[in-house]
Structure 1
Amino acid sequence: MKLKLDAIRACLDGAIPGTIATCAADGVPNAAYLSQVQYVDAEHVALSWQFFNTTRRNILANPLARVALIDPTTAGHYRLLLHYLRTEEEGPLFEIMKAKLAGIASHAGMAGVFRLLGADVYRVLEIDQVPSRMLAPALPRANLLAALRASVEELCLCMDLDALLCRTLDCLERHFDVHHAMILLLDASAGRLYTIASRGYEASGIGSEIALGDGVIGVAARERTPIRIGHFAAEYSYGKAIRENLERSGMALQMDTEIPLPGLPGANSQLAVPIRAGSRVLGVLYLESAQEQRFGYDDEDVMVSLAGGLGAAIQLLHHGPADHRDEPRAASRAPPAQPSASGPPLQVRHFAENDSIFLDTDYLIKGVAGSILWALLRDHADTGRTAFSNRELRLDPRIRLPDISDNLEARLILLGRRLVERNAPIRIEKTTRGCFQLRVERPLQLTHLPAGA
């Protein structure tokens, strides 16, 4: 090929609709506009199939097509010769194109008309540049490779998960000029992702959840693929996704304990990238912006690399050479002196149905993090204990960690941040590696409510 497909990826984001020319079996030509031309790899693209029209009939009869594309930044014209291979009606490629089409449709006022039926995959046989007057390419916002290198060097210095999460969000802001982002980790047993860190929002949303398959984040995790949208897409609104998920569950208590997911009210650009370690999805790195088409293919590529490094670091910290032999000895040491609990009693209610915790009348947390806090408070109430270790929590049958590989440290970080955010008179403070102390500033009144109560 005269040109490589990677060189014209800017043409494939749908900013300027492409055109496709096909030919019927009897030789009659036809031309039509295209909603999407999706980059698949260096030799393949996918075209959106939305209607059973003349183009569709022609391709099924004669698999060759010509596609004309225009670069939205340079106005360069390109002509592709394609050969139809197959149609995908589900899976990662289909979901990527479905999400992008939703954004394009909402932007064009066609949300009720555009509906993806399938992703038609083509092999690219030729790429020709059509002679035309071209503009100078726009200067990049940043050198993405340099930003990635600087970020990776900083992340390598993080020795615990809390520092790793904070440093990742710092790097996104300083090196990539991304001011709205969040990191969510996957609770595979529940089929949900929970927010453990965020940046740029009025409310942090720590502890908020999204189900697999809901919105850009849920689809990216379920399909194990990046999902990127360049225009506002109403059907990928998180308020709508969460509301519909709760209505499906029919759980009134869950409605009362839902922490709002942080987010821009009208995000015009979204990028959700799975955080992976080997074949396992650990969570999702999510970026958004009020600016349309803020994230392009290059941003997607570099964030996939950053998320890969983040996933490897999380896995290494979780399974790394922590000196568990020191944990019992460290936990047995006398913790720092604490002030005596004073003031009115704090009512702590535990609902066994979903391990949700309420402090007085305010909801705090649920799930595994809720069961951890309840176990700690029970031990404190029964024996006055304040020093604990991660190792013993992993073995505690009351907590019911869903998987031996579940990241307990992430749950403790989530719990600790929620307590600080709610200004609770209870704190979890790290003392040594693998050990922490419980600090209680008010007398406690513990109430356990069994399932169905």
Structure 2
Amino acid sequence: MPHAVALDAIRACLEGVIPATVATCSADGVPNATYVSQMQYVDSRHVALSFQFFNKTRKNILDNPQATALVIDPVTGEAYTLTLLFLRTETDGPLFQSMKAKLAGIASHEGMTGVFKLLGADVYRVLEVERIPGRAIERPAPRRSLLNALRQASASLNACASLDALFDQTLAALGSEFDIGHALLLMADEAHERLYVVGSRGYSATGVGSEIAFGEGVIGVAAQYRTPIRINHMTMEYAYGRAARDAAAEQALPLDAQIPFPGLAEPHSQLAVPILACGRLLGVLCVESAQDLRFSYDDEDALVSLAAQFGALALCLQRDDEDAAVAAPSASRMPAGEAIEVRHYRVNDSVFFDGDYLIKGVPGAILWKLLKSCIEQDRCEFSNRELRMCPELRLPEISDNLEARLILLQRRLVERCPQLAIEKTGRGLFRLRIDCALHLIEAN
């Protein structure tokens, strides 16, 4: 005899590995059953079904909002029936975009790219969930305890005393505690609707300083709609590396003046989680794998919790730096020798060092400000506070993420320009070290 279970307990059945079967009935009592491309867990009382075609199922639901679905656990073979009541159709927003991304992954995996098109996300109230009696395969033990992994990772993040350390420890914990080999940490520039990489793990190049626009790939969509985006099949439509390259090609700078965006050539699983704090978007945490079905609902829950803790800590650490004292005056001794040309383009604040592209945007404007102060004012000590008050940097009035931009610039200098270095000297204080003679050139 069937027995009732909680919807939360069968989320594995909603991954789309085995398509759900949905039965509906017309207004005059004619039944119809069909497979649906995806059924998505919304919360403990709701699911969403993909609306792709105006077919018999769609007509029946509009005439008679009751439906029954059959879902099967892909691991154990357990079958469940869901009694559903149609509520509404969403054609935009977080739920729709999440299902659209997942459908793109399914289509790409099945060689049906361009054929599957999501018209809407049909939201249903789950009135009852019942298990169908029958034999089941024993579920294997989980690879790891995600709750314990989250606990250990949280403890390591709480021990961080600086934003720089928080960046590094978050990425390290993804490997040591969650066994995730490839990850990206990006911070948001909400004023320009872009994200920039401040750290990564598992790639041959860090990609620090590379950018992607809101709405591009899984990362950009997660940022735009402030919702996790999880894809468990390879998809080109939501491949963030390709999206970043396409965006770069549209800019005025040549491609060799762009920082390559890191990422697997053919990721089969991707999960992008927005980092939110006090209603603000601080950034995005993204993980990926070459394996299909690598990230489950439970992985998503754990990383959403980790991202929330990261956001709260990042906000506190940035506020600490805002309260720091103003830097004391100090002399800057420029090295002798043949000067190296540093060229700054005002149009996008890009900076070229000895002819090679270094950085652009706000970090580029910051570097140019520091270099000019060192050479023209004979000083090398600075504070976050004075940069925040500097009008030529054109920082946004809210959520400027200045400390994160300084860390990005510091890491980019370590990778590409060892003659220059940003060295932290105290809370909200730093110095610019210059190890060669410089010739500054301002260009349009």
TM-score of the superposition, structure 1-length normalised?
0.94
The one-letter code matched in structure 2 to 1:34 is V
Counterpart secondary structure, 2:392: coil
2:432 maps to which residue?
A: 438
Whichever residue aligns with residue 409 of structure 1, its letter is E
Residue 324 of structure 1: how far off its partner (Å):
2.5
Deviations 1:409-430 (A, max 9, x none): 1111000100111143111111
**CA separation in 1, counterparts of 2:275 and 2:234?**
24
Aligned residues: 442
Which of 226, 234, 240 is 2:228 aligned to?
A: 226
The answer to whether the 8 A contact 2:79-2:132 is kept is yes
Instruction: State the match for 2:402 in structure 1.
Output: 408
- Residue in 2 that maps onto 1:155: 157
Partner of 2:101: 99
Write out aligned runs for 1:256-335 (5 A): 256-320=256-320, 324-325=324-325, 327-328=326-327, 331-332=328-329
Give, as a single letter, the amino acid of the residue that structure 1 aligns with 2:313. A
User: Counterpart amino acid of 1:266?
Assistant: E
The AA in structure 2 aligned to 1:388 is F
User: Is 2:329–2:379's contact at 8 Å kept on the other side of the alignment?
Assistant: no
In structure 1, how many angstroms separate the alpha carbons of the residues matched to 2:245 and 2:82?
43
Q: What letter is aligned with 1:110?
A: M
- TM superposition shift of 1:343: 4.8
Q: Residue in 2 aligned with 1:40?
A: 42
Q: Is the 8 A contact 1:342 1:441 kept in 2?
A: no
Residue type at the aligned position of 2:188: L
Residue in 2 aligned with 1:68?
Answer: 70
1:257 CA drift (Å)? 3.1
Q: Deviations over 1:378-399 (max 9, x none)?
A: 1111133111121211112222
Displacement of 1:243 in angstroms is 4.0
Give distance in 2, aligned partners of 1:446 and 1:323.
32
Deviations 1:361-389 (CA, angstroms, capped at 9, x unpaired): 21110111001100111111113311112
Secondary structure of residue in 2 paired with 1:163: helix
Matched, 1:360 2:326: no
Q: What stretches of structure 1 of length at least 5 have no aligned partner?
A: none
CA deviation after TM superposition for structure 1 residue 321, in Å:
7.6
The Cα offsets for residues 59-89 of structure 1, whole Å up to 9 and x where unpaired, read as 1111111111110111111111111111000
CA contact (8 A) 2:24 2:67 kept: yes
Letter in 1 for 2:272: A
Note if contact 2:382-2:430 (Cα within 8 Å) is conserved in structure 1. Answer: yes
Distance in 2, matches of 1:176 and 1:151, equals: 9
Q: 1:109 deviation in Å?
A: 1.1
Q: Report the AA paired with residue 157 of structure 1.
A: A
**Partner-residue secondary structure (3-state), 2:351:** strand
Query: Matched residues in 2 for 1:415 and 1:197: separation?
Result: 12
Structure 2 gap ranges (5+): none
Q: Does 1:188 align with 2:190?
A: yes
Q: Distance in 2 between matches of 1:295 and 1:31?
A: 30
Q: 2-side partners of 1:343 and 1:174: how far apart?
A: 46
Contact 2:380–2:431 (8 Å) recurs in 1: yes
| Local SS of the residue matching 2:341 | strand
Cα RMSD of the aligned pairs, angstroms, is 1.7
CA contact (8 A) 1:257 1:356 kept: no
Aligned-pair identity (%): 57
The amino acid of 2:120's aligned partner reads: G
Deviates more, 1:66-75 or 1:386-395: 386-395
Q: Is the 8 A contact 1:73 1:135 kept in 2?
A: yes
**Which SS does the other structure have where 2:107 is aligned?**
helix
What SS does structure 1 have at the residue aligned with 2:302? helix
**Is residue 2:379 matched to residue 1:385?**
yes
Q: C-alpha displacement at 1:297, in angstroms? A: 0.4
How much has 1:333 moved relative to structure 2? 5.9
SS at the partner of 2:168?
helix
> Is this contact kept in 2: 1:68–1:80, CA < 8 A?
yes
Task: List, as ranges, runs of 4+ consecutive aligned residues in structure 1 with deviation greater than 4 Å.
Answer: none
What is the distance in 1 between the residues matched to 2:43 and 2:254? 42
For the 8 Å contact 1:428–1:437, the answer to whether it is kept is: yes
Cα distance between partner residues in 2 of 1:290 and 1:374? 40
The Cα offsets for residues 412-453 of structure 1, whole Å up to 9 and x where unpaired, read as: 100010011114311111112211111111110110002xxx
Write the distance in 2 (CA, Å) between the matches of 1:101 and 1:322.
Answer: 44
Counterpart of 2:370?
376
Rounded to whole Å, the distance in 1 between the matches of 2:381 and 2:11 is: 56
How far apart are residue 320 of structure 1 and its match? 3.4
Distance in 2 (CA, whole Å) between partners of 1:129 and 1:286 is 35
* Alpha-carbon distance in 2 for matches of 1:332, 1:362: 32
In structure 1, what is the Cα distance between the partners aligned to 2:438 and 2:293? 51
Offset at residue 278 of structure 1 (A): 1.9
Secondary structure at 1:302's aligned position in 2?
A: helix
Question: How far off is 1:234 after superposition?
Answer: 0.9
3-state secondary structure, aligned to 1:275 = strand
Residue 142 of structure 1: how far off its partner (Å): 0.9
For residues 198 and 341 of structure 1, the distance between their equivalents in structure 2, rounded to whole angstroms, comes to: 34
